[in-house]
Amino acid sequence: MLSASRRSRVLFAELVATLLVVQAVIVSSAGSATAATNTAVDFGSVLMTTDPFAIGIGSSTYGATPLSSGAQNDVERRLDARYVRVPVGIRDGQVASSAYGSGLRNVVPLVNTYRSWGFRVLAVIGGRTNDFDVQPGDATRIITALGLDGIDYSAPNEPNNMGLSVWSEIEVARMIVSEGRAIDPNFRLLGPVWSYYDRNEIGTFARHMGSSLGGVDYHHYGMGHVSLSTADVLARTPDRGREVAEMRGDLGAAGLSRTVVVDEVNLSWRYDDGTPTSDGGDGSGRNNRFFTAINTVFVASVCGHVLQQGGRCLPYATQNGPLGMTVEAGQVNPDHRPDSSPMPGYWGIAAWTGAGLWPHMKDTFYRTSSPDPSVEVFAVSNEAGGANLVVINKSEWNGKQVSVGLTGAAAGSFRLYQSNPRAQYDAPALTGSGGFADSIDIWAPAMTVSVAVLSPGGAAPSTYRIAAGDGSVPGYGAPGDLVAGGTAAANPGTTVPPAGVPAELFSTERWGRQTYTLPVPPGRSVRLGLLFAERYPPAQQDGARRFNVTINGVRWITELDIWARQGRTTSGSVLVSTVVAPADGVVRIELTDGSAGAPTINGILIDPE
């Protein structure tokens, strides 16, 4: 990284009020009642074949890591960015982080943690006192300590920022390759890790490395030396894809590895980049756009263009103040977010990884088109056997009615998730679902990322059996991406269950404020049952737990006291209501705080009327 200074999921109950203003309107039809941007996806035309490891993140080794913080461990693992850049060098005689000021003196456990998750690691070999002063024998020690399984190695970081030429980088890279091939004759190295895209310098490195080249590796920030307007920096995101295509063409023509890694991507390489207040600066030239939906859109767009041209995209970084994808303790934090919680850029990566909300991208990008440069549509296969449509509205002020024509796709069902520019730290919300045939129409508010998850065949279900705290109950599933908020917990004891409900359903619960978003065919009347039992001893007294239940925005139960309602016993109950699914095809159930204790629930039943 250049000289940048050291720099859950929020409950849908808090998000719904805002979403009412910018609510996505979804229609499964061939047309729209309003003028639309007519985009297209051709599932019969493959644009690029890649793999799920093409999307990743840089582990800056500043701040918290999965080794030092349980919260950081959880948020990184949930993001599921499977290609992780780690700076590695010899410091104080150990295989340590080579990032200046990192303080991580043993990087081997961190690398092993990422590999234990099934991720691939890009180890950037650095020097003893700076990025470049790699000494003879250092690469041998690093490669021996980290091994070759699940790891790619790259040349020293950003030599051009130290006033060094590409020839200096080639010299050190050849020394690393020599030591690597003494361990494995097939060892290859990426590089030159240039701090910006320079076709000539990167090409020179590649040609002189020849058969020892593992691929090219460079950085590309949106701005830094000169602050750009938001419209300007977002208009340039397609350039990243064109550069990847250009470089892959050069490498292929030379008979070299066509791997292209853009391993540092972000809005700017520094927080203090001279941004004026008119573009999100704070009056002293600092770029507060890092803390807005602009960075969600920027990261999602850049990675989309890099990925669909066959490149690998690794935004910078896990933590590093405003440049981090998660909040770093003690750094600039104008909105007072919790340590290790997602920053807006995190959700830009999630557009491709799913972050546990929807299926991770798989390996096939399909050809798309859009006549409006402010509306981008990407289509990629997903790991659930369907496809994800990523629709990005880069306009700062104008919402767009986007009609996505689908060619070569069998009819099926879809779920739509959208980011919220007014709640930029929050997980994208499930805003609609339904069936599709030859098109999907989406209202995309200004500065948003929408992900439509397409599943072949069928339509939204009318029947659900959900174990709120444990998905292992026979006949019941875990809530997965259908719930936001709450914490699963075990509660020992016994419960007399309602008829037809297994007793083990009540041995776990989900407590805390939580919202369920359940796709149901629009207009369908269903019987909704909510299952409760009070198994928590401190709440087994009148008034100890009182909370509220809202269905589709209407308060259903106020101050629910499970213990009192069940006659001061631990027996289970099912509270039933008839619900008609609204036009967006989503039944929303919200459990919110009342006058005492925290909300809790054991399970949910939905059956067609």
* Torsion angles phi and psi, residue 337, rounded to 5: -80, 155
Whole-number Å distance between alpha carbons of 483 and 153: 40
In the predicted structure, residue 11 carries a pLDDT above the cut 50: no
**Identity of residue 307:** L
Average the pLDDT over 397-411 and give the result. Answer: 93
pLDDT at 500: 85
Q: What is the pTM of this model?
A: 0.78
Length of the chain: 609
pLDDT at 434: 80
pLDDT digits (tens, 9 = 90+) for 337-382: 999 999 999 999 999 999 888 889 999 999 999 999 999 999 999 9
H/E stretch holding 491 reads none
Q: What is the DSSP letter of 249?
A: H
Whole-number Å distance between alpha carbons of 191 and 256: 13
pLDDT at 523: 84
Share of the chain above pLDDT 90, in %: 75
pLDDT digits (tens, 9 = 90+) for 117-147: 999 999 999 999 999 999 999 999 999 999 9
**Identity of residue 106:** N
Per-residue confidence band for 3, with pLDDT thresholds at 50, 70 and 90 = very low
pLDDT at 430: 82
| Residue 44 CB partners (closer than 8 Å, separation 6+) | 407, 408
Whole-number Å distance between alpha carbons of 538 and 319: 39
pLDDT digits (tens, 9 = 90+) for 27-68: 332 233 346 899 999 999 999 999 999 999 999 999 999 999
CA distances from 249 to 52, 201, 367 (A): 22, 15, 19
In the predicted structure, residue 441 carries a pLDDT above the cut 60: yes
Per-residue confidence band for 1, with pLDDT thresholds at 50, 70 and 90 = very low
**Identity of residue 555:** R
Whole-number Å distance between alpha carbons of 300 and 397: 18
Average the pLDDT over 184-200 and give the result. Answer: 98
Rg of the chain over all Cα atoms, to the nearest angstrom: 26
pLDDT at 243: 98
Whole-number Å distance between alpha carbons of 107 and 336: 30
**214-223, 280-289, 420-429, 485-494 — which one is most confidently predicted on average?**
214-223
Q: Quick count: other Cβ atoms within 10 Å of Cβ 117?
A: 14
pLDDT digits (tens, 9 = 90+) for 82-107: 999 999 999 989 999 999 888 888 99
Average the pLDDT over 556-570 and give the result. Answer: 94
pLDDT at 282: 86
pLDDT at 471: 65
pLDDT digits (tens, 9 = 90+) for 383-395: 888 899 999 999 9
Whole-number Å distance between alpha carbons of 17 and 551: 14
H/E stretch holding 465 reads strand 464-467
pLDDT digits (tens, 9 = 90+) for 521-552: 888 889 999 999 999 999 999 999 999 999 99
| Residue 243 CB partners (closer than 8 Å, separation 6+) | 197, 199, 220
| Cross-strand bridge partners of residue 264 | 219
In the predicted structure, residue 26 carries a pLDDT above the cut 50: no
- 3-class DSSP assignment, residue 153: strand
Dmax (CA) for the chain in angstroms is: 81
pLDDT at 381: 95
Share of the chain above pLDDT 70, in %: 94
pLDDT digits (tens, 9 = 90+) for 228-256: 999 999 999 999 999 999 999 999 999 99
- Cis status of the peptide bond prior to 192, with omega within 30 of 0: yes
pLDDT digits (tens, 9 = 90+) for 461-506: 778 899 998 767 877 888 887 888 899 998 888 899 998 898 989 9
Quick one: 266 exposed, middle or buried, by C-beta within 10 A (0-12, 13-18, 19+)? buried
